[in-house]
Amino acid sequence: MIDAGLSEKKLSGRMAHIERSFSGMDAVFATHEHSDHIRGIGPLLRKHEVPFYTTEGTWRRANNTIGKINSFNTIRQDEPVHFGGLSVEPYSTPHDAEESVAFVVRYQGKSLGIATDLGRVTPEVKSKLQNLDALLVEANHDVSMLEAGPYPWMTKKRIKSGVGHLSNEACGELLASVKHPGLKLVVLMHMSETNNHPDLAKITARQALGESSPEMILAEQNNPTELLSI
Ligand SMILES: [Zn+2]
Ligand SMILES: [Zn+2]
């Protein structure tokens, strides 16, 4: 499991929905300390015995929120963690957090890249996301909706900054720079309910992907997606 911003109860419900459970789960990872990513982690780890993995910096900032847990395993950027044949490689993201990461996951020749909570697309992000089968990318906001919207000025400034969140346009630029014929699935993630509209996010991503048209799903905050396979 990567991040747990929902309550333990909600997560269990969503796991049951896709016929999965926490028993036997190999690991829970945290990308960074923002509460929409770690809120559910403490209760989850105290109820189920699942090993926890995050960076030193995230742990330093998150341990107050997470509370007492049995163990914590340190991960470092560019050092993959292995579970049988599955590898999970953290890479560094530009975000206003202590030591944030995102992940590339590989299993039996299939690969999946995650890129959420990043303010800009660095050359490193681009290189990590090349030639993957599936991409889970942030399409957080539409710039004009954000600018005209109700958020306080400082928050708007933070979101738009190079350590904030990816706009639809920035997401499109990322997709255009990593698209390839083998890309089968794109999931648009971390979409703001206030500063974005699903159609805008989808249209921008579709235009960026051009003729290579992988399946595209939009992940919603309040509804689980179906179980997807690649
Ligand atoms: Zn977030
Ligand atoms: Zn964040």
pLDDT of residue 8: 92
Q: How are beta strands 185-189 and 134-138 bridged, if at all?
A: parallel
CB atoms within 10 A of CB 13: 12
Give this prediction's pTM.
0.96
Ligand 1: centre distance to CA 117 (Å): 5
Please report which ligand is nearest the Cα atom of 189.
Answer: 1
Give the containing element (helix H, strand E) for 145. helix 143-148
Rounded percentage of the chain residues whose pLDDT exceeds 90: 93
Ligand 1: centre distance to CA 211 (Å): 30
Residue segments in the chain with a per-residue pLDDT below the cut of 70: none
pLDDT of residue 139: 98
pLDDT of residue 71: 86
Q: DSSP class of residue 34?
A: -
Please report which ligand is nearest the Cα atom of 118.
Answer: 2
Q: How are beta strands 81-83 and 86-92 bridged, if at all?
A: antiparallel
Ligand 1: centre distance to CA 37 (Å): 6
Which residues have C-beta within 8 Å of that of residue 20, sequence separation ≥ 6? none
pLDDT in tens, 80-109: 999 999 999 999 999 999 999 999 999 999
Please report which ligand is nearest the Cα atom of 119.
Answer: 2
Ligand 2: centre distance to CA 101 (Å): 10
CATH of the domain spanning 1-76, picked from 3.30.390.30, 3.60.15.10, 3.40.50.300, 3.30.1280.10: 3.60.15.10
pLDDT of residue 147: 98
pLDDT of residue 88: 98
Which residues have C-beta within 8 Å of that of residue 87, sequence separation ≥ 6? 80, 81, 105, 106, 107
pLDDT in tens, 50-62: 999 999 999 999 9
pLDDT of residue 213: 81
Ligand 1: centre distance to CA 31 (Å): 9
pLDDT of residue 212: 75
